[in-house]
Amino acid sequence: MFEHFDSRMVRLRDSEIFVRHGGSGPPVVLLHGHPRTSSTWHRVAPLLVDQGFSVVCPDLRGYGRSRGPEPTPDHTAHCKRAVAGDVVEVMRELGHSRFALVGHDRGGLVALRLVLDHPEAVTRVAFADCLPLTEHLEPMTVEFATSWYHWFFFAQPDVPERVINADPDQWYGGDPLSMGAENHAEFRAAVRDPRVVRAMLEDYRAGLSVDRQHEEADRSAGSLVHCPALVLWSLRDDLQSLHGDPVRLWNRWATDARGHGIDSGHHMAEQAPHALVGALSGFLAGR
């Protein structure tokens, strides 16, 4: 897994970020979602290197081997603004002041925050199986609340930690055949760590509080994503059925959004890596 990639721990002001990086050429950052780590990209990253890109895969703050500060009552220690700042600093440490972004699931929320807060750093951005938080929350339906109940469960104090840590293997599942044995082992080690579980829950607590407030402030200020944006979603997941055309929704936030669905379940980097790279490579190359 990640043959010919280097890995290192980058120590920042209030966090330590584990990162894998390899290849040469235009830099692109791959941001994973919940409850995965950077290893979820193990099938995609080498293919992008073969396409001529320099690929960087960090564990988000608190996920996998990365560590952030202790949680704060207002959840700002794990908000997307803080996590996006980690990514910018890591890329500077690696010698990149400008780069492309690909964010899946929660990583897509980090990508949105990064491109809004640091537009000068981002050349292009791809959002995979995600929408801005407010696009989920404001048109709330029973169907969304039922299907995505975990958002609201994870936001509760203390109880989710006790439930998940009692049997994380059962809670999170995971199939080593579809994920890949090494990726599955890394994922399994992460979700068995109570520190990681707490940080992942803080991600969701921040999402329903401070992150949502940041998005509302952006919208009031008329802030938009001005670089080219690619929107991808899994045809065998429920994003489109719950919310309608994801490209239409992203066009409320971006001046140049386009995209399409991919024949995959939610974890498209593991389940449909060649289709995902096929969609990404031309976009990242400016075609």
Catalytic residue among 105, 129, 203, 218: 105
* Known catalytic membership, residue 105: yes
Q: What whole-number distance in Å separates Cα of residue 80 and Cα of residue 111?
A: 9
Identity of the amino acid at 60: L
* Known catalytic membership, residue 266: yes
Two tokens, residue 126:
């791809």
Two tokens, residue 87:
């990514």
Strand partners, 58: 19
Helix (H) or strand (E) holding 266: none
Task: Give the SS3 label for residue 158.
Answer: coil
Residues 16/9, Cβ–Cβ less than 8 Å: yes
Q: What whole-number distance in Å separates Cα of residue 39 and Cα of residue 185?
A: 10
Cis peptide before 35 (omega within 30 of 0): yes
Active-site annotation, residues: 105, 266
